[in-house]
């Protein structure tokens, strides 16, 4: 069975790449930076940091006890993984773009879950702006993978909608 050009060729590799790059970035910063420290990577544009992320997006579960956070995040990760699996199964075999987006999301979720199981919190290792600035939040490649995955799905959905509408228009 040919795999190239199918959703399978995009889904799992993207998930594994997102997971591996995020974990390698965290390993790198843990070996060169003390917790809370920052170092420039691309001048004042992008830097390394080593910051535990106790809460989730928008501070979800931030004030919960660590054990309750682990249960809450694990439940969310499980629910998201099941939903990704359901959406993946519903894709047509050639829908590589959507499969890649779902794979990125799965890789990011898996990396965040691994962090919480291993360290008791998420780990942010990238910082936008000068090292002394706190204007923007710190983040990880897992965060980037999840956002890019969602953006890919939105773009794929819009492209499919525009194509369907164009096909419905009367020919002149």
Strand runs (DSSP E) across 13-86, as ranges?
Answer: 38-42, 46-53
Active-site pick, 22, 115, 138, 143: 143
Is 124 noted as a catalytic residue in this protein?
yes
Active-site pick, 22, 115, 124, 138: 124
Instruction: For residue 123, give the nearest of 144, 147, 142 by alpha carbon.
Output: 142
CB-based contacts of 146: which residues, under 8 Å, 6+ apart? 104, 105, 108, 109
Is 138 noted as a catalytic residue in this protein?
no
Cβ atoms of 139 and 117 within 8 Å: the answer is no
Residue positions annotated with a catalytic role? 124, 143
């Amino acid at each position: 069975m040919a795999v190239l050009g199918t959703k399978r060729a995009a889904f799992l590799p993207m998930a594994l790449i997102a997971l591996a790059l995020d974990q390698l970035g965290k390993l790198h910063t843990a070996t060169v930076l003390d917790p809370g420290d920052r170092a420039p990577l691309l001048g004042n544009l992008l830097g390394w940091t080593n910051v535990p992320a106790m809460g989730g997006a928008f501070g979800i579960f931030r004030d919960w006890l660590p054990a309750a956070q682990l249960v809450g995040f694990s439940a969310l990760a499980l629910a998201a993984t099941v939903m990704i699996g359901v959406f993946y199964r519903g894709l047509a075999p050639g829908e590589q773009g959507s499969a890649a987006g779902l794979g990125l999301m799965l890789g990011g979720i898996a990396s965040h879950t691994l962090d919480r199981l291993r360290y008791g919190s998420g780990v942010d290792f990238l910082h936008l702006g000068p090292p002394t600035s706190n204007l923007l939040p710190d983040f990880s490649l897992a965060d980037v993978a999840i956002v890019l995955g969602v953006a890919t799905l939105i773009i794929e959905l819009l492209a499919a909608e525009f194509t369907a509408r164009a096909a419905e228009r009367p020919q002149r």
